[in-house]
């Protein structure tokens, strides 16, 4: 700590009060109007140069000042030891390491070295000579930048010869620029999530932050300040314990690292594969993997080592360990239970507790299960089914013991259909009887009754008659009959009645019954 520069008169008074009167440092400070730490500093300086009380009479104020505040030793800059800028640059990427801390360590080893301000200036000059990508300051294990390349790769279908374009996912770690690339058929949510899982597996750990562009698969609502993530992307991030912070709109520097990485991958990998033909994404990824290894091991031009060696010394030790299980892809969908207390996913219907009728819920579907959540609490779980139009119903979800209180009943549904016509009522009754639980047919019945708004009751009644005749028991069948105008065609097994021909020259049957016909 450096002492406050006081007048020589006051310094002499400090020495007198201490060495002549023996006052405490606090007492001296109060007497002279200065802090006790300043008193301590001046006394240390006086003791260091061997002063005693009384001071020699020949010691004037100028001499006293030079003794207590000797001028610093002037060392030419060329003779001062230079720090190891490369090592210092790499150390700066470690978590919690600052330029101030590195200067203190440098100064401890080299007391005659540069002062802090000059130290910072020299580092800035050295770092300014590096490439832009290298100059960016990223902490070890902190950020993973992800995006898709603008360039696609043609893949040939062996069976048809059709050429499809595969997308290229690219991820780059901030501190080491260690790169991952993977080809997928689409940029859709399943491929987007799958590429993230593959990347984290490749790295063997998870960073603190993932920085994507505002791709629709990952960001459901683009906003400069608070972009919203898709529920699946958010769930994946929570599984691996990472934060997702999308790049800000119209801020290219937020994603400069991955844009540079994409450019390198296009030039270093895709350019080398331009003359090769691939017949599957798996074959393409095998070729990408071989070149990716060479890319990461390529030596730097202006720094020692490579992306791989820098990854092993910087990023890899700082990455968080991955959970034991890989993330299982799940789709989320906002749903409401219809009057049959079932929710729909990909054409199949799953039951929820009947008390949740019309309530907003979230549906989560994996490869094996379908779950429904109400305000974050799971209210239903089913094995996933791919039967279109089918129903998966749990008995405990049914309101059988409470049906007399329910506003929707089979009887009410039939009565409503009877307003359209008797055949509509018969078809609704047949649909309800065909289902294991009548409630499973409510949705179809409502759809049939609702067709009267578009086609009128007369046409819907005729279509229901035809549906009964051909044993069609679904809303889609009735709608198809109406769309194709089949309700007026003769029913199977029944000849269409031909109206009699009325003409002045046609005598009719009565003429022959009265015996008025003349012989030929």
CATH code assigned at 33: 1.10.10
Domain range for 25 is 8-68
- Domain final residue, candidates 318, 343, 373: 318
Beta bridge partners of 392: 350
Shared-domain flag, residues 159 and 243: yes
Query: Looking at the domain assignment, is residue 493 inside a domain?
Result: no
Closest CA to 144 of 266, 315, 296, 303: 315
Instruction: Answer yes or no: are the C-beta atoms of 460 and 420 closer than 8 Å.
Output: yes
Q: How far is CA 115 from the centre of its chain?
A: 45
In this structure, the answer to whether residues 42 and 153 fall within a common structural domain is: no
Return the pLDDT at 501: 52
| Spatial separation of the C-alpha atoms in residues 242 and 234, rounded to whole Å | 9
Please indicate, yes or no, whether residues 462 and 476 belong to a single structural domain of this protein: yes
pLDDT over 90, % of the chain: 21
Cα–Cα distance, 224 to 234 (Å, whole number): 18
pLDDT at position 213 = 78
Residue 492 placed within a domain: no
Classify residue 519: in a domain, yes or no: no
Number of domains in the chain: 5
Q: Of 403, 425, 456, which closes a domain?
A: 403
Question: Rounded to 5 degrees, what angle do the CA atoms 434, 436, 442 make?
Answer: 70
92 with 210, same domain: the answer is no
Coil vs helix vs strand at 303? coil
**Residues 308 and 164 placed together within one structural domain of the fold:** yes
Residues 44, 148: one domain? no
- Is the domain of 256 the same as that of 176? yes
Q: List the beta bridge partners of residue 372.
A: 363, 380
Residues 398 and 412 in one domain: no
- Residue 516 lies inside a defined structural domain of this protein: no
pLDDT at 5: 57
> Is 357 in the same domain as 413?
no
Query: Are 383 and 291 part of one and the same domain?
Result: no
Model pLDDT, residue 224: 35
CATH number of residue 314's parent domain: 3.30.420.10
Final residue of a domain: which of 27, 48, 68?
68
Question: Based on the domain organization, do 225 and 157 belong to the same domain?
Answer: yes
Q: Is the domain of 223 the same as that of 260?
A: yes
- The low-confidence residues of the chain, meaning pLDDT below 50, are 1-4, 132-136, 218, 220-227, 250, 401-406, 511-520
Is 510 within a domain?
no
């Amino acid at each position: 700590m450096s002492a406050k520069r006081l007048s020589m008169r006051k310094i002499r008074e400090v020495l007198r009060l201490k060495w002549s009167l023996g006052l405490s440092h606090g007492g001296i400070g109060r007497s002279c109007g200065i802090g006790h730490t300043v008193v301590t500093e001046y006394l240390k300086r006086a003791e260091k140069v061997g002063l005693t009380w009384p001071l020699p009479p020949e010691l004037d104020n100028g001499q006293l000042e030079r003794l207590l505040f000797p001028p610093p030793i002037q060392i030419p800059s060329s003779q001062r030891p230079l720090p190891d800028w490369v090592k210092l640059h790499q150390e700066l990427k470690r978590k919690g390491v600052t330029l101030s801390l590195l200067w203190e360590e440098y100064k401890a080893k080299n007391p005659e070295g540069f002062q802090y301000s000059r130290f910072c200036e020299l580092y800035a000059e050295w770092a300014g000579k590096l490439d832009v990508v290298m100059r960016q300051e990223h902490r070890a294990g902190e950020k993973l930048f992800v995006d898709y390349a603008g360039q696609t790769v043609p893949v040939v279908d062996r069976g048809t010869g059709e050429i499809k374009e595969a997308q290229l996912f690219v991820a780059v770690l901030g501190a080491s620029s260690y790169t991952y690339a993977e080809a997928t058929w689409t940029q859709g949510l399943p491929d987007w999530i799958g590429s993230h899982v593959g990347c984290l597996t490749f790295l063997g750990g998870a960073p603190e932050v993932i920085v994507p562009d505002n791709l629709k698969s990952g960001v459901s609502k683009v906003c400069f300040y608070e972009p919203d993530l898709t529920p699946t992307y958010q769930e994946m991030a929570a599984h691996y314990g990472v934060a997702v912070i999308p790049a800000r709109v119209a801020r290219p520097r937020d994603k400069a690292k991955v844009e540079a990485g994409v450019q390198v991958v296009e030039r270093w990998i895709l350019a080398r594969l331009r003359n090769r033909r691939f017949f599957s994404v798996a074959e393409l990824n095998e070729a990408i993997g071989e070149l990716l290894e060479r890319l990461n091991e390529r030596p730097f031009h202006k720094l020692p080592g490579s992306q791989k060696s820098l990854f092993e010394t910087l990023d890899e030790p700082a990455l968080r360990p991955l959970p034991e299980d890989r993330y299982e892809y799940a789709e989320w969908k906002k749903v409401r239970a219809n009057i049959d207390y079932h929710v729909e996913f990909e054409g199949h219907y799953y039951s929820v507790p009947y008390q949740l009728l019309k309530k907003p819920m979230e549906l989560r579907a994996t490869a094996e299960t379908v779950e429904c959540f109400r305000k974050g609490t799971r209210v239903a779980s089913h094995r996933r089914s791919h039967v279109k139009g089918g129903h998966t119903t749990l008995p405990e979800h049914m309101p059988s013991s409470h049906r007399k209180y329910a506003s929707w009943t089979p009887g009410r549904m039939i009565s409503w259909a009877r307003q359209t016509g008797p055949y509509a009522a018969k078809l609704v009754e047949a649909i309800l009887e065909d289902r294991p639980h009548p409630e499973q047919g409510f949705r179809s019945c409502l759809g049939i009754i609702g067709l009267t708004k578009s086609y009128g009751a007369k046409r819907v009644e005729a279509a229901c008659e035809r549906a009964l005749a051909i044993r069609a028991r679904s809303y889609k069948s009735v709608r198809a009959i109406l769309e194709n105008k089949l309700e007026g065609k003769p029913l199977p097994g029944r000849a269409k009645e031909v109206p009699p021909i009325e003409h002045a020259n046609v005598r009719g049957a009565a003429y022959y019954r009265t015996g008025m016909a003349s012989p030929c």
